[in-house]
Amino acid sequence: MRGKARSLPALAFLLVTISCSPLVASPRNTGVSSLIVYAVADEATTVSAVTMSLQGYATARIVISYAYTNSFTVSNVTSLGRSMYKIISSPMGIEFEGVDVDRYTFTADVRYATVTDQLIQVAIFSAEHPPEGIEYNVRGKVVKITVALTVEKEPKYPTAEEVAEAVVKQMSDSLQQFQVQQQKLVNQVSDTIVSIGSIAAIAFVLVVVLLIVVFRIHRRMAALSERGIG
């Protein structure tokens, strides 16, 4: 038995890997990072095994839709950490929601009374982004689905308004810093002028005192000279 996969266009942040071993089917160029589909046929029960590896941003949700059946089980639901998750199974599908950042895995067995050809649909909801979809054909009495979901924290990028506000703030801070530096320079120049003025005043006083002293010495010497002559 051979499976054929189809995929709707996917966002760049979404990584999807689907496998059913061991025969390889060649999918179309869908824009998904990785899409590999295999199929295996069991002569007695006609089993199709499907493995999906998905990535999304918290909160991430997967909805798997299949043909109606009353025989279905979900098992081996695990997470690496003690994270919050929710899983709901029904005769027509499985819904899994991973709330926290973690890696989740689960397995589902879907059984039918006869060999059934069907189109299984997978919808991936990642944070607030539009959902992405994958569709693939399977044929068998039993479909074993194994899912691994890695939930990551969505990176935050600044908006145009935030960038504009940051630029305005940076310019305002630069202008304010320039004004502070200019004020410091003015204060330094003022202090220098005051210092020079003080030095000039002291020098002037010293010159006046020196002139007075010289004048008095000159008068005494003149007086002594007159007395000597007399």
133-175 pLDDT, tens per residue? 888 789 899 999 999 999 999 888 888 887 888 888 888 888 8
* CATH of region 4-152, choose from 2.60.60, 1.10.150, 3.40.50, 2.60.40: 2.60.60
CA 140 from chain centre, in angstroms, equals 43
Sign (positive or negative) of CA dihedral 41, 42, 43, 45: negative
pLDDT at 15: 41
Domain boundaries, the chain: 4-152, 159-230
Cis amide linkage into residue 17, ω under 30° from 0 = no
CA-angle at 41, arms to 34 and 119, nearest 5°: 55
Which of the residue ranges 2-6, 82-86, 224-228 would you say has the lowest mean pLDDT? 2-6
What digits encode the pLDDT tens for the residues 24-71? 233 333 333 333 344 444 555 588 888 889 999 999 999 999 999 999
* Residue 99 confidence class, pLDDT cut points 50, 70, 90: very high
Q: What is d(CA 18, CA 37) in angstroms, rounded to the nearest whole number?
A: 6
Q: What is d(CA 2, CA 12) in angstroms, rounded to the nearest whole number?
A: 29
The pTM score is 0.56
E strands, the chain, where?
A: 4-7, 16-19, 23-25, 37-39, 47-57, 60-65, 71-79, 85-90, 93-98, 102-126, 132-152
CB contact set of 25 (below 8 Å; sequence gap of 6+):
2, 3, 4, 5, 37, 38, 39
Residue range 173-183: average pLDDT?
84
